[in-house]
């Protein structure tokens, strides 16, 4: 009986724009962005579809809102901090957010009506790069390069056909059956992927370091090479 009462109390939580958007994130997390409709959102919240329109104008506003929620989960870089460590912090945080919400990868830069968290994020990132000494033009280049890498890696990671539990079995089968036909793939599999402790996610750190090293060289008066970032 106490459990039933608790459930009833939860169902009586009033609707709000925040609750509608959080519910939309839950639907998208569970079934992808294609599963998000006004009807499926209403089911998630236990309300009638028409009641949602008191808080959002329609699906476009919902998409604007949930993209802004994802941006709010990404650590803001600090314009007053070391630019490189701030960009690492931002990139790692963005990757984690996109792993939680893979449906957002193709939406992060697609909305024509960015919300306050989105605007704060962009402004803080631009401010950090400008504070590092990048010109306005180079700041634009650096921001585009970093985001292309972060979103691209997140998409690749989300699309991998194997999880960590099955990758070893799959790659061992590949080596056994196709090593003679594809020697370079077999070499990479045997000498890298099948080595103890292999984690595809480590490639993110290496690639990010290469990009940051290259960007560092474009800042006047900065050393030609920066150290690799530490493992996360």
Q: Are 179 and 186 in contact (CB under 8 A)?
A: yes
The conformation of residue 34, written as its DSSP 8-state character, comes to G
The Cα–Cα gap between 162 and 159 comes to 9
Give residue 193's pLDDT: 72
The Cα–Cα gap between 199 and 160 comes to 13
26-64 confidence digits (pLDDT tens): 999 999 999 999 999 999 999 999 999 999 999 999 999
161-194 confidence digits (pLDDT tens): 665 566 666 666 666 666 677 788 778 777 777 7
**Is pLDDT above 50 for 222?**
yes
Of all residues in the chain, what percent carry a pLDDT higher than 90?
A: 64
**Is pLDDT above 80 for 81?**
yes
State pTM to two decimals.
0.81
Question: Which residues in 140-170 are b (16+ Cβ under 10 Å) and which e?
Answer: eebbeebbebbbebbeebeeeeeeeeebeee
């Amino acid at each position: 009986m106490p459990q039933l009462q608790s459930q009833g109390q939860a169902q009586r939580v009033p609707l709000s724009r925040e609750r509608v958007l959080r519910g939309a994130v839950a639907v998208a997390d569970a079934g992808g962005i294609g599963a998000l409709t006004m009807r499926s959102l209403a089911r998630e919240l236990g309300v009638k579809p028409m009641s949602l329109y008191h808080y959002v104008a329609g699906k476009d506003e919902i998409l604007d809102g949930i993209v802004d929620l994802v941006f709010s989960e990404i650590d803001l870089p600090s314009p007053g901090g070391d630019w490189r460590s701030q960009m690492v912090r931002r990139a790692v945080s963005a990757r984690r957010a996109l792993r939680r919400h893979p449906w957002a990868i193709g939406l992060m830069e697609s909305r024509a009506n960015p919300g306050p968290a989105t605007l704060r994020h962009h402004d803080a990132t631009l401010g950090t790069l400008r504070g590092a000494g990048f010109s306005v033009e180079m700041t634009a280049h650096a921001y585009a390069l970093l985001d292309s890498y972060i979103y691209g890696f997140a998409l690749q990671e989300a699309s991998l056909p194997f999880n960590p539990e099955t990758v070893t079995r799959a790659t061992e089968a590949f080596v056994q059956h196709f090593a003679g036909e594809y020697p370079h793939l077999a070499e990479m599999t045997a000498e890298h992927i099948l080595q103890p402790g292999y984690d595809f996610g480590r490639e993110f750190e290496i690639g990010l370091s290469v990009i940051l090293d290259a960007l560092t060289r474009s800042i006047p008066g900065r050393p030609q090479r920066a150290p690799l970032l530490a493992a996360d």
